[in-house]
């Protein structure tokens, strides 16, 4: 059956890495492994420049209609002075909300070929395989009231609000328990229940959901301790479940255990939609130079085949191809090490396609 894939390259290196992802899709199609109807749309600063909004209505409609959305990255210096309401990031947050993508999976796995690339000691990071499950469509990112107002006395007041409803906690917790069940059976829920009532509700609700998953060992950690433990002894973690903001922060931290943020894919899942994107940003400093690492984008394509298109064998094949090019010593600048062969974005994408065959 034909599946519809909607491409949103976005800004900066998003455009360059998406071109490499498309090569993978073309290869899969060419082999007859899947039948894909591919369309492309606008999001972020690029969308703002052409339409006056970072999230055009047609983008939302097409994304909702698609089986899966592939997104590059959004943002750039050029748009930083714009009003919050039309910043590129609002496009990304908007599509997460519109598609109700509440469950964000951010795997942090060390590629053995890159174990030396982390700033931590190799013996600390070797064998790390952590899955961060980040709530993505609620919390302080979306809570009301929000904004900055000027008071009568001339001072300004800035407000953001952490809000979670029990059903929002329950649905992402269920996903996390199910994922933990397919892995080592350990789930650590991260909160700040000693200070924030909202995350005390988070903890209580996760415990209640846990009653339905007696096979899973559930633990809890305050976010400050979790940030410390991730560096001290990252191997203690398997699945981490946390709120939108804490997940944003901890997933960047976890990515650095693996050496490069340029290697890590993500899946954002709702009940009806799914979006796949690398966890890195649009990297304005290297945009247009042809040096960006396309592997996180390519691995996001692999996640799409696994989680949405139900073709785990295609996902495995893409992952194996990535391992093969790393084994062959090819490296983009971000993961470059002595004795390896430095390649650009296009050459890396071509090498993965070649390794697929
Ligand atoms: C991420 C990013 C986004 C976020 C930004 C670009 C809005 O940091 O996907 O982690 O904060 O969620
Ligand atoms: Mg982030």
Ligand 1: atom nearest CA of 252 is 10
Indicate the pLDDT class of residue 273, thresholds 50, 70 and 90: very high
Ligand with an atom nearest the CA of residue 12: 1
DSSP assigned state of 183: T
* Structural domain of 253: 113-131+138-259
Tell me whether residue 334 is in a domain.
yes
Round the average pLDDT of the chain to a whole number and report it.
96
- 340 in a labelled binding site: no
pTM: 0.95
Indicate the pLDDT class of residue 148, thresholds 50, 70 and 90: very high
- 291 in a labelled binding site: yes
Q: Which pLDDT does position 194 carry in this prediction?
A: 98
* In a shared domain, residues 118 and 194: yes
For residue 145, cis peptide bond before it (omega within 30 degrees of 0): yes
Annotate 90-112 with DSSP letters as a single string.
Answer: HHHHHHHHHTT--EEEEEEE--G
- When pLDDT is averaged across residues 23-29 and rounded to a whole number, the result is 98
Q: Picking from 159-168, 247-256, 257-266, 347-356, which range would have the lowest pLDDT averaged per residue?
A: 257-266
**Radius of gyration over alpha carbons of the chain, in Å?**
20
DSSP assigned state of 272: S
* In a shared domain, residues 74 and 181: no
Half-sphere exposure of 117 (CA within 13 A, CB side): 24
Is 225 in a helix, a strand, or coil? helix
In this structure, which residue's CA is closest to atom 10 in ligand 1? Answer: 248
Tell me whether residue 265 is in a domain.
no
* In a shared domain, residues 188 and 62: no
- 116 in a labelled binding site: no
* In a shared domain, residues 229 and 300: no
Q: Picking from 21-25, 44-48, 117-121, 264-268, which range would have the lowest pLDDT averaged per residue?
A: 117-121
In this structure, which residue's CA is closest to atom 7 in ligand 1? Answer: 89
- When pLDDT is averaged across residues 131-154 and rounded to a whole number, the result is 97
* In a shared domain, residues 173 and 301: no
Residue in this structure with the two tokens 């247009």, named with its chain if needed: 288
Q: What is the pLDDT of residues 200-214, one digit of tens each?
A: 999 999 999 999 999
Q: Return the percentage of the chain with pLDDT > 70, whole number.
A: 100
* CATH number for the domain harbouring residue 64: 3.40.718.10
Active site residues: 141, 192, 224, 248, 252
Q: At what angle do helices 197-210 and 166-182 cross, to 10 degrees?
A: 50
Ligand with an atom nearest the CA of residue 11: 1
In this structure, which residue's CA is closest to atom 9 in ligand 1? Answer: 279
Token reading at 344: 């650009």
* In a shared domain, residues 175 and 243: yes
Our mutation pick for probing the ligand 1 site, out of 72, 255, 281, 282, counting the most ligand atoms within 8 A of Cβ, is 281
Token reading at 287: 């945009």
- When pLDDT is averaged across residues 293-321 and rounded to a whole number, the result is 97
- When pLDDT is averaged across residues 310-315 and rounded to a whole number, the result is 96
- 292 in a labelled binding site: yes
Q: What is the pLDDT of residues 98-113, one digit of tens each?
A: 999 999 999 999 888 8
Q: Using a 6 Å CB cutoff, which residues line ligand 1? A: 75, 89, 92-93, 248, 281
Tell me whether residue 108 is in a domain.
no
Alpha carbons 245 and 210: distance in angstroms, whole number: 22
Domain count, the chain: 2
* In a shared domain, residues 171 and 282: no
Our mutation pick for probing the ligand 1 site, out of 92, 101, 135, counting the most ligand atoms within 8 A of Cβ, is 92
* In a shared domain, residues 50 and 92: yes
In order of 60, 63, 68, 73, 301, the CA distances from 37 in angstroms are 17, 13, 11, 22, 15
Q: Which pLDDT does position 140 carry in this prediction?
A: 98
Indicate the pLDDT class of residue 192, thresholds 50, 70 and 90: very high
Measured in degrees and rounded to the nearest 5, phi and psi for residue 77 equal -55, -40
Structural contact between residues 287 and 78, judged by C-beta atoms closer than 8 angstroms: no
Q: Which pLDDT does position 40 carry in this prediction?
A: 98
Our mutation pick for probing the ligand 1 site, out of 105, 248, 268, 275, counting the most ligand atoms within 8 A of Cβ, is 248
In this structure, which residue's CA is closest to atom 12 in ligand 1? Answer: 248
- 224 in a labelled binding site: yes
Q: Can you list the positions of beta strands (E) in the chain?
A: 3-10, 36-40, 68-73, 103-109, 129-135, 147-150, 156-159, 186-191, 217-222, 239-242, 265-269, 274-278, 330-331, 341-342
C-alpha of 228 from chain center: 22
Distance spanning both ends of the chain, measured CA to CA: 23
In order of 15, 41, 76, 91, 337, the CA distances from 287 in angstroms are 9, 19, 9, 19, 22
Structural contact between residues 163 and 143, judged by C-beta atoms closer than 8 angstroms: yes
Residues around ligand 2, an ion, CB closer than 5 A: 248
Single out the residue in 230, 259, 288 at which a domain terminates: 259
* In a shared domain, residues 160 and 279: no
Single out the residue in 235, 259, 283 at which a domain terminates: 259
- When pLDDT is averaged across residues 153-174 and rounded to a whole number, the result is 98
Measured in degrees and rounded to the nearest 5, phi and psi for residue 223 equal -65, -35
Alpha carbons 191 and 242: distance in angstroms, whole number: 7
Q: Which pLDDT does position 260 carry in this prediction?
A: 78
Alpha carbons 14 and 312: distance in angstroms, whole number: 25
- When pLDDT is averaged across residues 226-253 and rounded to a whole number, the result is 97
Measured in degrees and rounded to the nearest 5, phi and psi for residue 189 equal -95, 130
**pLDDT greater than 90 at residue 36:** yes
Q: At what angle do helices 345-356 and 295-307 cross, to 10 degrees?
A: 40
Q: Which pLDDT does position 88 carry in this prediction?
A: 97
Ligand with an atom nearest the CA of residue 72: 1
Structural contact between residues 291 and 345, judged by C-beta atoms closer than 8 angstroms: yes
Q: Which pLDDT does position 325 carry in this prediction?
A: 98
């Amino acid at each position: 059956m034909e599946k519809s894939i909607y491409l949103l390259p976005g800004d900066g290196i998003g455009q360059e890495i998406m071109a490499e992802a498309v090569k993978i899709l073309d290869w899969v199609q060419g082999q007859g492994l899947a039948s894909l109807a591919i369309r492309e749309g606008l999001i972020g600063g690029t969308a703002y420049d052409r339409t006056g909004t970072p999230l055009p209505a047609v983008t939302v409609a097409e994304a909702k209609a698609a089986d899966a959305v592939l997104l590059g990255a959004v943002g750039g210096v050029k748009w930083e002075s714009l009003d919050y309401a039309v910043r590129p990031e609002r496009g990304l947050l908007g599509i997460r909300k519109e598609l109700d993508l509440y469950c964000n999976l951010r795997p942090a796995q060390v590629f053995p070929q890159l174990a030396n690339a982390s700033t931590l000691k190799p013996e600390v990071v070797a064998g790390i395989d952590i899955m961060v499950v980040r709530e993505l469509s609620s919390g302080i990112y979306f809570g009301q009231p929000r904004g900055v107002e000027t008071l009568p006395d001339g001072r300004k007041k800035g407000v953001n609000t952490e809000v979670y409803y029990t059903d929002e906690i329950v649905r992402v917790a269920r996903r996390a328990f199910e994922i933990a069940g397919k892995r080592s059976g350990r789930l650590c829920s991260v909160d700040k229940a000693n200070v924030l009532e909202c995350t005390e509700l988070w903890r209580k609700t996760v415990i209640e959901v846990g009653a339905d998953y007696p096979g899973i060992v559930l633990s809890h950690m305050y976010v400050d301790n979790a940030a410390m433990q991730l560096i001290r002894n990252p191997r203690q973690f398997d699945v981490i479940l946390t709120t939108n903001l804490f997940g944003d922060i901890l997933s960047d931290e976890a990515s650095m255990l693996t050496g490069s943020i340029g290697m890590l894919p993500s899946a954002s899942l709702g009940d009806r939609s799914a979006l796949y994107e690398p966890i890195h940003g649009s990297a304005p400093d290297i945009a247009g130079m042809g040096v960006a690492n396309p592997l996180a984008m390519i691995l996001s394509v692999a996640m799409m085949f696994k989680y949405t298109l139900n073709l785990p064998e295609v996902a495995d094949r893409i992952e194996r191809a990535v391992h093969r090019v790393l084994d062959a010593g090819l490296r983009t600048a971000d993961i470059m090490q002595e004795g390896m062969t430095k390649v650009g974005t296009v050459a890396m994408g071509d090498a993965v396609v070649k390794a697929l065959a």
